[in-house]
Amino acid sequence: MSKLTLDRILQSQGFGARKWCRNLIEDGEVSIAGETVDDYRSEFETSDLAFEVYGDEWLYREHVYIALNKPADYECSRKPSHHPGVLSLLPEQFSLRDVQPVGRLDNDTTGLLLMSDDGAFIHAQSSPKSHIPKVYVATTHGAVTSELVAKLLDGVKLNDEPAPLAALVCNKLAEHQLEIVLEQGKYHQVKRMLAAADNHCIVLKRTQIGKLTLDALELDEGEWCHLSAEQMALLVSDE
Which of the residues are catalytic?
106
Q: Cα(17)–Cα(198) distance, rounded to whole angstroms?
A: 53
> In sequence order, what are the beta bridge partners of 67?
114, 225
Q: Give whole-number Cα distances, 191 to 107, 139, 195, 228, in Å.
A: 13, 10, 6, 32
User: Would you list the DSSP string of 104-137?
Assistant: ---TT-EEEEEEES-HHHHHHHH-GGG---EEEE
- Positive or negative torsion for Cα 117, 12, 9, 35: negative
